[in-house]
Amino acid sequence: MMPTFQTDIIEARNFLYQLLVRQVDEKAKNWIEQKIHLLANSFSTQNFYIAFTSAPRFVGKQNLHLSPMEESEANAIRKGFTLKNWTIDRTTRILFVLYLPTENAENHVSILSKVFQTAEVNELVALYAALPLLPFPEKYIYQCTEGIRTNMAPVFEAVALNNPFPAEFLDENAWNQLFLKAIFTGKKIYQIQGIKQRANATLAQICSDFAHERWAAGRKVTPELWMPVVHFINDTILKDLEKLKESNDILQRQALVLVCLESSHAQVKELLTGMEDLKEKALKGEFSWESISEQWHEANQ
Amino acid sequence: MMKFIDPHIHCVSRTTDDYEALRQAGVVAVIEPAFWLGQPRTEVGSFKDYFSTLIGWERFRASQFGIRHYCTIGLNSKEANNEALAEQVMEILPLYIYKEGVVGVGEIGYDDQTALEDKYFRLQLELAKEANLPVQIHTPHRNKKVGTSRSMDVCIEHGIAPQMVIIDHNNEETVKETLDRGFWAAFSIYPSTKMGNERMVEIVKKYGSERIFINSAADWGISDPLAVPKTAQLMAERGISEKDIHLVCYQNAYDAFAQSGQMHESDFIVEIDQSQRFNGNSVLRGGRDPKIEKLDSKIIK
Ligand SMILES: [Zn+2]
């Protein structure tokens, strides 16, 4: 049985509202207030639809800025919830989504599905970014997999990156699809949440197969590919890791060191021999999956 | 290098080669009117998915080539003749016309000038008036002169200001009345059936550049997506001033459709550099080499 709520919706509303009013001008603030008053007191699908669709023309599309304190507040409201790269219009739209009536799952899904079906690109981004705040999460799992199938890069990023929903609710097959598609389309993999928790033997093998395919074609693979293999070492993957040790790309060797440090596999641990300098740097936090990812994307843009 | 807007092109029927060529020729923005697909649709769902494509996938696809994609949404005159279907399409139009990047209601008007065409033309004019959006009018191929006059009469009858109406597919026979009555006069440079390049040059020589603009109307038929830049070049060769070319191939279309409040020059991507990201998304896929082109290095021959 899955939970009905992923977050206290009133608290989430207040949080988004406070973020917005701190950054928008008086006119936009009045518009937002007028709309949430309307949605709270006389909700109708029509009112919701108009508010959701027209938000950018009244509140603008500037970036949303968060203080470190607000970032941790976001995480307290909903574990893993981040507003990384959000804009004012997106935040406003999601605030409105939090005013959908929650008495009845079918009603909630029926209203929001129509919005999903007729959404333009920025609306889709807002809808998928809202997934971790929605009630009845199990009703939105299929929609989440639709977001993973999209060909529109910003939409895929809204589902796959900085979003706690997929790791918590997708089945193994769908989760593996998300990871592999993110690799394929060159996303920054550390921004996928829950990789450690959702790593599995099938995914580890998929990653190894992917590397072999690329290597056979004389192409490089991102070192981030090895993040999920740590606890699923087999003979093939062990050989793959040995290959990383020989790489003249420092990022590949850094990735190997991180895998070795996290792994409890004796032969994997042994690979650290001769890499003491990197091991020390890793332990001092001088590099991480994040820094490897950032540097890889910088170099292979 | 001159920049251009093609304010009437059916991108869903065009290839990525066309997008590349458009961008290389200096087209920075396009407007895609909703039209028929060459054969009649039989279900309202087909319209819904088509409209969603215009504001979703096609918009994203264009952005990958550095082209800002806008659209106009409406029920075209041909399919207005299926009354049962037309009723259902009218019901879903309000879901789309308020979307971001929807710069008008279009292309609507008359084809065979039947009673049903008249009915849905008028209903959509009311919709445009309510949404305060420009109207993009398709004028008929057959009985053109009468159909064009009638389209303008009906707009006036519905209290729509001529400056909010773009009369499209003009020719030598219709241009004078369109301009005299204060409407925007658009010309489709479309081989054989509509306007030729050289005739267009003569029209600009005769009528000047006020409220006149051109488009390719390129679609699934034999048509030329580069009609706007090619005609600009021809105009230059035949002694039309740069200022007039700019008005006819860029500024007037912009001024007409920017009345929607949904089109902003600041959103156009002025220089292509595929190593940068459009809209936060790398356009690079599958290991293609970046194509970097600076504007000053490109001359249209
Ligand atoms: Zn057309």
Supply A47's token pair: 């009112």
Closest CB to A121: pick one of B59, B261, B282: B59
Report d(CA B166, CA B136) in Å as an integer.
5
Report d(CA A53, CA A119) in Å as an integer.
9
Q: Could you report the predicted ipTM of this complex, rounded to two decimals?
A: 0.81
Supply B235's token pair: 């105009």
pTM of the model: 0.88
pLDDT of residue B292: 45
Domain ranges of chain B: 13-270
On the CB side of A207, CA atoms within 13 Å amount to: 30
Dihedral sign, Cα of residue B24, residue B107, residue A89, residue A85:
negative
Check B261 against A57: CB less than 8 A apart. Answer: yes
Name the closest residue on chain A to residue B51, using Cα atoms: A118
Q: Which residues of A touch B55 (CB under 8 A)?
A: 119-121
Q: Whose structure tokens read 């279009």?
A: B106
Ranges of residues in chain A with a pLDDT under 50 are none
Report d(CA B224, CA B191) in Å as an integer.
8
Quote the ligand 1 centre to B279 CA distance (angstroms). Answer: 27
Cα distance from B69 to chain A (closest Cα, Å)?
12
Q: Is A299 on the interface with B (CB under 8 A)?
A: no
Residues 6+ apart with CB under 8 A from B11: B18, B19, B30, B32, B58, B61, B62, B69
B136 within 8 A of B105, measured Cβ to Cβ: yes
Quote the ligand 1 centre to B12 CA distance (angstroms). Answer: 12
pLDDT of residue B281: 45
Closest CB to B56: pick one of A54, A57, A152: A152
- Per-residue pLDDT at B299 exceeds 90: no
Among A76, A65, A68, A109, which residue's Cα sits nearest to residue A7? A76
CB-based burial, B196-226: b 16+ in 10 Å, e otherwise: ebeebbebbeebebebbbbbbbbbeeebbbb
- Beta-carbon neighbour count of residue A270 at 10 Å? 10
Cα distance from A59 to chain B (closest Cα, Å)?
13
pLDDT of residue B194: 75
Residues 6+ apart with CB under 8 A from B7: B30, B31, B166, B186, B213, B215, B253, B256, B257
Report d(CA A75, CA A228) in Å as an integer.
24
Q: Which residues of A touch B284 (CB under 8 A)?
A: 186, 301
- Per-residue pLDDT at B290 exceeds 80: no
Q: Which residues of A touch B131 (CB under 8 A)?
A: none
Check B284 against A186: CB less than 8 A apart. Answer: yes
Q: Whose structure tokens read 């592999």?
A: A180
The DSSP letter of residue B288 is P
Higher confidence at residue B278 or residue A250?
Answer: A250
Q: Which residues of A touch B100 (CB under 8 A)?
A: 53, 56-57, 120, 122-123
pLDDT of residue A3: 75
- Beta-carbon neighbour count of residue B230 at 10 Å? 16
Check A121 against B60: CB less than 8 A apart. Answer: yes
Cα distance from A75 to chain B (closest Cα, Å)?
25
Name the closest residue on chain A to residue B60, using Cα atoms: A152
- Mean pLDDT value across residues B35-61: 95
pLDDT of residue B272: 59
Check B275 against A301: CB less than 8 A apart. Answer: yes
Query: pLDDT band for position B195 (50/70/90)?
Result: confident
Q: Which residues of B touch A153 (CB under 8 A)?
A: 60, 280-282
Check A185 against B57: CB less than 8 A apart. Answer: no
Check B280 against A219: CB less than 8 A apart. Answer: no
Quote the ligand 1 centre to B9 CA distance (angstroms). Answer: 7
Query: pLDDT band for position B82 (50/70/90)?
Result: very high
pLDDT of residue B273: 52
pLDDT of residue B271: 65
Cα distance from B100 to chain A (closest Cα, Å)?
7
B185 within 8 A of B170, measured Cβ to Cβ: yes
Query: pLDDT band for position B285 (50/70/90)?
Result: very low
In what side-by-side order are the strands of the sheet with B4-6?
A: B4-6, B27-33, B68-73, B102-109, B135-138, B165-167, B184-188, B212-215
pLDDT of residue B150: 96
Per the omega criterion (within 30 degrees of 0), is the bond before A73 cis?
no
Number of residues that this document lists for chain A: 301
Check B52 against A118: CB less than 8 A apart. Answer: yes
Neighbours of ion ligand 1 (CB under 5 A): B 35, 217
- Per-residue pLDDT at B289 exceeds 60: no
Q: Which residues of B touch A219 (CB under 8 A)?
A: 287
- pLDDT tens, residue by residue, B166-193: 999 999 999 999 999 999 999 999 887 7
Number of residues that this document lists for chain B: 301
Q: List the single range of A107-121, B219-233, B281-295 with lowest mean pLDDT.
A: B281-295
Report d(CA A45, CA A37) in Å as an integer.
15
The DSSP letter of residue B99 is S
Report d(CA B109, CA B137) in Å as an integer.
5
Quote the ligand 1 centre to A26 CA distance (angstroms). Answer: 42
Among A86, A149, A152, which residue's Cα sits nearest to residue A120? A152
To probe the interface with A, which of B60, B102, B292 has the most A CB atoms within 10 Å? B60
Q: Is B180 on the interface with A (CB under 8 A)?
A: no
Quote the ligand 1 centre to B190 CA distance (angstroms). Answer: 10
Supply A49's token pair: 């639809």
Bridge partners for B30 per DSSP? B6, B69
Check A119 against B48: CB less than 8 A apart. Answer: no
pLDDT of residue B127: 95
Q: Amino acid identity of A197? A: Q
Report d(CA B75, CA B125) in Å as an integer.
11
What is the average pLDDT value for chain B, to the nearest integer?
90
To probe the interface with B, which of A120, A125, A214, A220 has the most B CB atoms within 10 Å? A120
Please state which CATH number belongs to domain B13-270.
3.20.20.140
Residues 6+ apart with CB under 8 A from A14: none
Residues 6+ apart with CB under 8 A from B56: A119, A120, A121, A124, A152
